[in-house]
Amino acid sequence: MVRRSLIRTFMIAALSAAGCLYASAQSNKGTITPVDSDDEAPQKPVLHYYDKHGNKLDKPVLYLAELDTMSTSSKVKSPYPLYNGITVGVNFADAILRLTGQKHSSYDISAMVSLHNWFFPIVEAGIGWGSHTEGDNLYHYKARPAFYAKAGINYNFLYKSKTDYMAYVGLRFGVTSHNWDIRDISPTSDLGKETGKTELLDQHCVSTYGEVVAGLKVKVAGPFSMGWNVRYRIGLHNSGGASPWFVPGYGTGPLGVNLCAYLTFGEKKKKEKTEDEEPLPDVAPTDMTPAEDTAPADNAPAETSPTESPLTEEASL
């Protein structure tokens, strides 16, 4: 009997505790605990008694600060306008390489437009020619002067810096229509054995190629700048299945270098501040200050110093 009464008492106590826990859970449903957050709730102005330097204000002010340190919608902006001038240049690298024994030349001029000092659409046009004697007078190759053109774009890594400096990478697409002659073909050469001829005149081909570019440009004085770039060239197509020794604008191999002089026109100065760089005010605008309050009301939060936490004061009360 005693055992049955003890079991009955234990079951009644357990049911009573379960009922209390259920009632408590129902009463707390829908409430926001201190660790919960409501992202959609509008921010409210905060009453400030000190400026950002820790100095006490003559009057308390209301200040609404929108802080979003986790924002993913921020955009990177350039401090320069969309159109920031045009730069024309001339490439004279092959004039120097000719002095070292190079047998071909490609000279070109270029024009590029600055977009935000960030992206630079560019066109290049020039003329190229060359001559070459294969081996021990096996044959003589002469490329006639021919025009070529290239178009592409540069990406400036220093787009937020002064326009005096430019470090960039870019892409080009080139095309040329050119002619060449091969004379004095030796019968013992592979070309002579293959063709059975002593000369091949007025050979023609349309060639296309691509380039990957990396370079630097530095201001010297006023609008005058100088720079260099290296290029890795990729042959895309030669019409008629031809294999020319020299292609204007391309050269004879995949690697090349340009040395250039530039003049820039219509360049704008860098903006001092952008919208994203506006400084925070020391105090809130005066129109947000309560007109009738010159001191905190009786039920207003007590003044807190920069080193005193409101939560600590509230806990002490």
**pLDDT, tens digit (0-9, with 9 covering 90-100), for 120-146:** 999 999 999 999 998 888 899 999 999
Residue 163's nearest CA partner among 219, 237, 209, 201 is 219
Q: How far apart are CA 182 and CA 198, in angstroms?
A: 8
Which of the pair, 97 or 277, is modelled with greater confidence? 97
Is 111 a domain residue? Answer: yes
How does residue 33 score in pLDDT terms, banded at 50, 70 and 90? low
Residue 86's nearest CA partner among 110, 57, 52, 54 is 110
Q: What is the CATH number of the domain that holds 130?
A: 2.40.160.20
The DSSP letter of residue 31 is P
Domain count, the chain: 1
Give start and end residues of each alpha helix (H) in the chain.
2-28, 93-97, 190-195, 310-316
Write out the two tokens for 53: 């330097």
Is 57 a domain residue? Answer: no
**Which residues share a beta bridge with 235?**
209
pLDDT at 260: 97
Which of the pair, 260 or 193, is modelled with greater confidence? 260
| H/E segment holding residue 123 | strand 119-134
> What's the mean per-residue pLDDT of the chain?
80
How does residue 284 score in pLDDT terms, banded at 50, 70 and 90? very low
Which of the pair, 21 or 311, is modelled with greater confidence? 21
Domain that holds residue 160: 83-265
Is 257 a domain residue? Answer: yes
Write out the two tokens for 255: 């690697």
SS3 155: strand
Is 127 a domain residue? Answer: yes
Write out the two tokens for 118: 């960030």
pTM of the model: 0.63
pLDDT at 166: 96
Write out the two tokens for 148: 């070529």
Is 241 a domain residue? Answer: yes
Which of the pair, 211 or 46, is modelled with greater confidence? 211
Q: Which tens digits make up the pLDDT trace of 245-275?
A: 999 999 999 999 999 999 999 988 877 654 4
Tell me what the mean pLDDT of segment 95-121 comes to.
96
